[in-house]
Amino acid sequence: MDTAGKVIKCKAAVAWEVGKPLSIEEVEVAPPKSHEVRVKIIATGICGTDDHVLTGSFPKVNYPVIPGHEGAGIVESVGEGVTCLKPGDKVIPLCLPQCGECSSCLKSNTNCCLKTHLCEPQNLMPDKTSRFTCKGKQIHHFLWISTFSEYTVMPDSTVVKIDDAAPLDKVCLFGCGFSTGYGAALNTAQVMPGSTCAVFGLGGVGLSVVMGCKAARASRIIGIDINKEKFIKAKELGATECLDPQDYKKPIQEVLVEMTGHGVDYAFEVVGCLDTLTAALASCHLGCGVCVMVGVPPLGSQLSFDPMLLFTGRTLKGCFIGGWKMKDSIPQLVSSYMAKKFNSDALITHTLPFSQISEGFSLLHAGKSIRIVLVF
């Protein structure tokens, strides 16, 4: 392409400092260096985590920064040594790398690559420099992928080629929200056919858990939310019944244990709140129930619960991006989507032009949306 090797000027949403709204700016995007890829983003979802970046509740972010991590796009150019991708390839940037070399990547039972932001800062490219500038200032990357920019540069370990026919304004959700929830049911819990599941929180991620439980042929899927408006879509996507804890005098875990006899086989916390996490654990079947923690806990919080819940045989499991080794799994998820194995499109309540990103965040804050997709 004629832009290869040159600086590209384009629109991006910049968070200049904590607590300030995003501002759309013209930024300069430098060409990719060795083992990097420059991608033209076509569509990007807005995830709660992007909002955490704006409020300063996501750890280890440097400002100014370009957030966004649920995107899909087309490779514009590649740096030296990149063999897995070429210009024109449709791709999904990965918020969790799969370097293929670290001890986690070499194990079959974890997706927590040691290049993840939990282990290594991703605010600059691996060579500790940024590819973004704006008004003469260096702008930081977010999770190495910064999808709130029309062009963005990322390491080749954090991007994967997908089916040429995939609709990018739909499959962008596989970069985070959908994969996180769907994988929590299929990979982390490994829901068994005929089982009973409870899903606490019916936002985009919780609804993806519901879809995963359905795909695993659970016979009972109980959705729990304090916003009854969420029940319609939850039932459409596979929930067999829905409960609002505010309708009961008893704690919701007691209601669930009574409803099911001895508790549910699998409970998923998809709110990001400690109270719902302990309620989910306590609603699990004595001796064998599995509670999966999907929601991101409040920064710096400490968990406290009756250890007898675990002593008596329940399991509490963490789940990071649905347990997927992303480079291996995202193309397969896209193929399953193309084969209509699940309907992740149902999560998209709004598709807006990128210029309306602030309206998108307002919808998110008002609880009126499930997933918002921005298109460039």
Instruction: Rule CB under 5 A: choose which of 10, 84, 99, 310 binds Zn ion.
Output: 99
* Residue 323 binds which of Zn ion, ligand APR, none (CB < 5-8 A, kind-dependent): none
Nearer to Zn ion (CB atom), residue 141 or residue 285: 141
What number of other Cβ atoms are within 10 A of residue 170's Cβ? Answer: 19
Nearer to ligand APR (CB atom), residue 154 or residue 205: 205
Confirm if 175 and 42 have CB atoms less than 8 A apart.
Answer: no
Residue with tokens 């068994």, as numbered in its chain: 192
Q: Please name which of 159, 44, 41 lies closest in space to residue 98, comparing C-alpha atoms.
A: 159
338 binds Zn ion (CB under 5 A): no
Helix, strand, or coil (residue 139): strand
* Residue 211 binds which of Zn ion, ligand APR, none (CB < 5-8 A, kind-dependent): none
Q: Which residues bind ligand APR (CB under 6 A)?
A: 48-49, 177, 180, 200-206, 224-227, 230, 245, 270-273, 276, 294-296
Widest CA span of the chain, in angstroms?
66
Cα separation, 111 vs 325, whole angstroms: 5
Nearer to ligand APR (CB atom), residue 25 or residue 225: 225
CB of 373 to Zn ion, least distance (A): 13
Q: What DSSP character marks residue 183? A: H
State the Cα torsion 204-207-213-215 to the nearest 10°.
Answer: -80
State which of positions 48-67 bind Zn ion (CB under 5 A): 49
What is the full DSSP assignment across 216-266?
Answer: TT-SEEEEE-S-GGGHHHHHHHT-SEEE-GGG-SS-HHHHHHHHHSS-BSE
- Residue window 164-203: x/- pattern of binding to Zn ion, with contact defined by CB under 5 A: ------------x---------------------------
CB of 316 to Zn ion, least distance (A): 22
Helix, strand, or coil (residue 350): strand
Cα separation, 341 vs 352, whole angstroms: 26
Nearer to ligand APR (CB atom), residue 202 or residue 264: 202
- Residue window 21-50: x/- pattern of binding to Zn ion, with contact defined by CB under 5 A: --------------------------x-x-
CB of 113 to ligand APR, least distance (A): 18
Cβ neighbors of 98 (< 8 A, separation 6 or more) are 105, 111, 113, 157, 325, 326, 327, 328
If phi > 0 it is left, if psi is from -120 to 50 it is alpha, else beta; for residue 321 that is left
296 binds Zn ion (CB under 5 A): no
Instruction: Rule CB under 5 A: choose which of 24, 102, 134, 338 binds Zn ion.
Output: 102
Nearer to Zn ion (CB atom), residue 29 or residue 145: 145
What number of other Cβ atoms are within 10 A of residue 231's Cβ? Answer: 18
105 binds Zn ion (CB under 5 A): yes
Nearer to ligand APR (CB atom), residue 29 or residue 72: 72
113 binds Zn ion (CB under 5 A): yes
CB of 88 to ligand APR, least distance (A): 32
Written as six digits, the tokens of 37 are: 């890829």
Nearer to Zn ion (CB atom), residue 115 or residue 285: 115
CB of 206 to Zn ion, least distance (A): 13
Q: Which residues bind Zn ion (CB under 5 A)?
A: 47, 49, 99, 102, 105, 113, 176
